[in-house]
Amino acid sequence: MKLTKHNLSEKTNQVYDVIVVGGGAGGLSAGIYLQPYLLSSLIIDKGKARSLWMQELHNYLGLPPDTPGKTLLKQGKEHYLSVGGDLLNAYVEEIIDEGETFLVRVKVGRTNSICVEFRAKYIIAASGIIDHLPALEKMQNVFDYAGYNLHVCLLCDGYEMRDQKVGVFASSESAAQVAFSLGWFTPHITVFTQGLFDVSSELRQKLKEHRYSLVETPVKQFLGENHQMNGVELEDGSVINLEAGLISMGSRYHSDYLENLDLEYQGGNLITDQMGRTSHPRIFALGDLKVGMNQVVVAAADGAMSATQIWRDIRRQTGAKRNLSNLAA
Amino acid sequence: MKLTKHNLSEKTNQVYDVIVVGGGAGGLSAGIYLQPYLLSSLIIDKGKARSLWMQELHNYLGLPPDTPGKTLLKQGKEHYLSVGGDLLNAYVEEIIDEGETFLVRVKVGRTNSICVEFRAKYIIAASGIIDHLPALEKMQNVFDYAGYNLHVCLLCDGYEMRDQKVGVFASSESAAQVAFSLGWFTPHITVFTQGLFDVSSELRQKLKEHRYSLVETPVKQFLGENHQMNGVELEDGSVINLEAGLISMGSRYHSDYLENLDLEYQGGNLITDQMGRTSHPRIFALGDLKVGMNQVVVAAADGAMSATQIWRDIRRQTGAKRNLSNLAA
């Protein structure tokens, strides 16, 4: 059921089998596996899944290629609620390992917010990442185009940019390297450093060899209309025409709540085994938060695997039929 | 484009980037990633994907839980053709490693069949498995119920069998162990050996402790109507009532065509790395054919990963923009 400030008190004194942090593709897929395994689950979602941005999921098997990300998430939430899962819109502040269970501290509501605690035997960290965007004075100007023709994923949208005049907005020397992979799709590339880093002579040389342009003057604003970006205006007033953009500025990982749990990371990504288990035997991670490809269908498969492994764990410990009446209603 | 006996000759003298053997969930997902990476691909499908059986895909994120497997496959084929992929209904007889390329020998058509050859740089083995079924005198009697309430996948359909009277149809002592996992969902279990193997005293004892029944007399036929099995008639004329069945008789792996390629297996499953690469650097495997969970969403993610890794390989070798005019039309 959908939990709100008003009905959640009945759920705070039970122990869930699994609390899933994040209601994006990975978390929802985990949920629609967990419930039919007769495991009780709560998905806590703060409503900012990366796939919400996506105007078209080009590559998700089973859905037409013009399906918006939000359609997938809506269907997934309905599916999850229909199999009896609990869903709460809230922000997870902290998770404390109590031994047999985890204590999950949650803030509900943006105004008049209340703090509540839930408990679970297992945690699935499915809270994903969000892309860093160019920090302009008017951020709305960035949001107007991001997810339309101002892309954040070369794998997903490279094809959309084929033979187009593309601006790569990079935040570091290594982030700028994506320009050379983008070169598979188009030769018309301009790299914008936005004045954020010094360009080495090696990179200058390599860009020159590929005949890519380099712009170091900061960007003032994106130009365009109806969500179609068609160029940038620089701080010095000059204008550069573009047909698409690719942002390569790294990501913020939504994993602060895991801070005190001493998990193993590679870069910002959680290290897991094939089934999604982290270095803590009862914490799983999936999708963009773990090492691997950042694709919706991969996150969905990760959810299926984490849920299945947790079911195997609990089934083997219990060694008997789950008593249906013990299940969270 | 859809290839047929009549239009395939124009395709036999080009080298595809990738030939995908199998047009199930994994193969189609690979295809809808490969084409937008500007790689030419041919999917060869003999039209017997395991998911075709599935009357309802309960657990596939993004589709309502009553979506038939064939709906997913139909959408996937349309999607793949819409991004310019080639698709051929045919049977792959043999693949020969020629060094830079693979030669793929194919038989097209069941009557007046013709043999043709295609070439590709990479192979994706996505031909899956098919479950062994009880070998009754009238196989149509098995097909009447398989995929309805005569299930082949505990993970997928355990929930459907909760608290039901279920018959487990096993072909070996180890295959019969699934009964104890099924015990998570229901205590009303009868194991049918169909007279195929001798039951050890350990298994007898364990079944007794769990209060599961054991029937060793061979099955004559399934009983029921409208695809709903409601029991079995044994060879000796006795009748046992059931509400559902779970077949655990192992699988046939559709991988004969890989026979001469000296790949590494674990049991019947191909061993791959995280991205699906087998022990041959230019052969990838996915879905049920490789080690891992046999789930539609996992196969779909495998397809995305194999396609992406092949793109990375080719992009790094080529080191330059793909010339669009070189692409297979």
Exposed/middle/buried for residue B104 (C-beta within 10 Å: 0-12, 13-18, 19+): buried
Q: What is the DSSP letter of A146?
A: B
> Which of chain B's residues have a Cβ under 8 Å away from the Cβ of A181?
315
The minimum CA-CA distance between A30 and chain B, rounded to whole Å, is: 9
B258 in the same domain as B158: no
Q: Please answer yes or no on whether A79 and B61 come within 8 Å at the CB atom.
A: yes
B8 in the same domain as B110: yes
| Closest CA relative to residue B242, chosen from B291, B173, B189 | B189
Strands A228-234 and A239-241: antiparallel
Please give the ipTM for the structure prediction. 0.94
> Which of chain A's residues have a Cβ under 8 Å away from the Cβ of B54?
none
Q: Please answer yes or no on whether A63 and B63 come within 8 Å at the CB atom.
A: yes
A122 in the same domain as A9: yes
Exposed/middle/buried for residue A209 (C-beta within 10 Å: 0-12, 13-18, 19+): exposed
Shortest CB distance from B36 goes to which of A58, A181, A322?
A58
> Which of chain A's residues have a Cβ under 8 Å away from the Cβ of B321?
183-187
> Which of chain A's residues have a Cβ under 8 Å away from the Cβ of B211?
none
Q: Looking at the predicted structure, is the pLDDT value of residue A308 above 70?
A: yes
Model confidence band, residue A320 (pLDDT cutoffs 50, 70, 90):
low
Q: Please answer yes or no on whether A62 and B293 come within 8 Å at the CB atom.
A: no
> Which of chain A's residues have a Cβ under 8 Å away from the Cβ of B32?
58-59, 61, 65
Give the residue-averaged pLDDT of B107-136: 94
Q: Are B166 and B192 in contact (CB under 8 A)?
A: no
Shortest CB distance from A315 goes to which of B184, B292, B308?
B184
Q: Looking at the predicted structure, is the pLDDT value of residue A142 above 60?
A: yes
Tell me how crowded residue A53 is: count the other CB atoms within 10 A of its CB.
18
Per-residue pLDDT at B6: 87
Residue B282 is encoded by which pair of tokens?
A: 């230019």
B122 in the same domain as B259: yes
Q: Please state the domain count of chain A.
A: 2
The minimum CA-CA distance between B169 and chain A, rounded to whole Å, is: 20
- Cα B127 from Cα B26, distance rounded (Å): 9
- Max Cα–Cα distance, chain B, nearest Å: 72
Chain-centroid distance of CA B258 in Å reads 16
Question: Considering only alpha carbons, which residue of chain A is nearest residue B64?
Answer: A79
A46 in the same domain as A187: no
The minimum CA-CA distance between A254 and chain B, rounded to whole Å, is: 22
Give the residue-averaged pLDDT of A286-311: 97
pLDDT tens string B266-316: 989 999 999 999 999 999 999 999 999 999 999 999 999 999 999 999 999
Give the residue-averaged pLDDT of A104-117: 93
Scanning the structure block, which residue is given the tokens 């060879």? B235
Q: Are B108 and B90 in contact (CB under 8 A)?
A: yes
Shortest CB distance from A61 goes to which of B28, B163, B187?
B28
Per-residue pLDDT at B329: 36
pLDDT tens string B138-197: 999 999 999 999 999 999 999 999 999 999 999 999 999 999 999 999 999 999 999 999
The mean pLDDT of chain A is 94
B180 in the same domain as B46: no
Q: Please answer yes or no on whether B297 and A301 come within 8 Å at the CB atom.
A: yes
- Cα B95 from Cα B256, distance rounded (Å): 10
Q: Which of B221, B248, B275 is the C-terminal boundary of a domain?
A: B248
Per-residue pLDDT at B320: 62
B171 in the same domain as B63: no
Strand partners, A44: A21, A88
Q: Please answer yes or no on whether A301 and B303 come within 8 Å at the CB atom.
A: no
A89 in the same domain as A72: yes
Q: Please answer yes or no on whether A304 and B295 come within 8 Å at the CB atom.
A: yes
Q: Please answer yes or no on whether A61 and B32 come within 8 Å at the CB atom.
A: yes
- Interface mutation target, options A61, A308, A310, chain B, most CBs of B under 10 Å: A61
Residue B304, H or E segment: helix B296-318
Question: Considering only alpha carbons, which residue of chain A is nearest residue B72?
Answer: A62
Question: Considering only alpha carbons, which residue of chain B is nearest residue A287?
Answer: B301
Shortest CB distance from A29 goes to which of B61, B274, B302?
B61
The mean pLDDT of chain B is 94
Q: Please answer yes or no on whether B76 and A60 come within 8 Å at the CB atom.
A: no
Q: Which of A227, A248, A269 is the C-terminal boundary of a domain?
A: A248
Residue A34 is encoded by which pair of tokens?
A: 């967990």
> Which of chain B's residues have a Cβ under 8 Å away from the Cβ of A301?
295, 297-298, 300-302
Shortest CB distance from A62 goes to which of B63, B82, B295?
B63
CATH number for B50: 3.50.50.60
For residues A92 and A13, which has the higher predicted lDDT (pLDDT)?
A92
Q: Please answer yes or no on whether A37 and B76 come within 8 Å at the CB atom.
A: no
Q: Please answer yes or no on whether A76 and B61 come within 8 Å at the CB atom.
A: yes
Q: Looking at the predicted structure, is the pLDDT value of residue A103 above 50?
A: yes
Q: Which of A248, A264, A294 is the C-terminal boundary of a domain?
A: A248
> Which of chain B's residues have a Cβ under 8 Å away from the Cβ of A65?
32, 79, 82-83
> Which of chain A's residues have a Cβ under 8 Å away from the Cβ of B295?
301, 304, 308
Question: Considering only alpha carbons, which residue of chain B is nearest residue A209?
Answer: B320
Model confidence band, residue A258 (pLDDT cutoffs 50, 70, 90):
very high
> Which of chain B's residues have a Cβ under 8 Å away from the Cβ of A294?
none
Q: Looking at the predicted structure, is the pLDDT value of residue A124 above 80?
A: yes
B236 in the same domain as B88: no
A119 in the same domain as A234: no
Shortest CB distance from A298 goes to which of B60, B301, B318?
B301
Model confidence band, residue B51 (pLDDT cutoffs 50, 70, 90):
confident
A283 in the same domain as A188: no
Its domain, for residue A99, covers 2-130+251-326
Give the residue-averaged pLDDT of B104-130: 95
pLDDT tens string A201-238: 999 999 999 999 999 999 999 999 999 999 999 999 99
Shortest CB distance from A61 goes to which of B29, B38, B185?
B29
- Cα A197 from Cα A191, distance rounded (Å): 12
A255 in the same domain as A126: yes
Q: Please answer yes or no on whether B32 and A305 come within 8 Å at the CB atom.
A: no
How many beta-carbon contacts under 8 Å exist across A and B? 148
Q: Looking at the predicted structure, is the pLDDT value of residue A327 above 50?
A: no
Strands A129-131 and A150-151: unpaired
Cα–Cα distances (Å) from A257 to A86, A252, B9, in that order, read: 20, 13, 59
The minimum CA-CA distance between A2 and chain B, rounded to whole Å, is: 19
Say whether A311 sits in a helix, a strand or coil.
helix
Shortest CB distance from A33 goes to which of B29, B59, B292?
B59
Per-residue pLDDT at B41: 98
Long-range contacts formed by B90-94: CB under 8 A, 24+ apart: B90/B44, B90/B45, B90/B46, B90/B116, B91/B44, B91/B46, B92/B21, B92/B44, B92/B46, B92/B127, B92/B257, B93/B257, B94/B257, B94/B259, B94/B260
pLDDT tens string B232-256: 999 999 999 999 999 999 999 999 9
| Closest CA relative to residue B1, chosen from B322, B328, B306 | B328
Per-residue pLDDT at A98: 96
Q: Looking at the predicted structure, is the pLDDT value of residue B113 above 80?
A: yes
Handedness of CA B63, B67, B71, B72 (dihedral sign): positive
Model confidence band, residue A321 (pLDDT cutoffs 50, 70, 90):
low
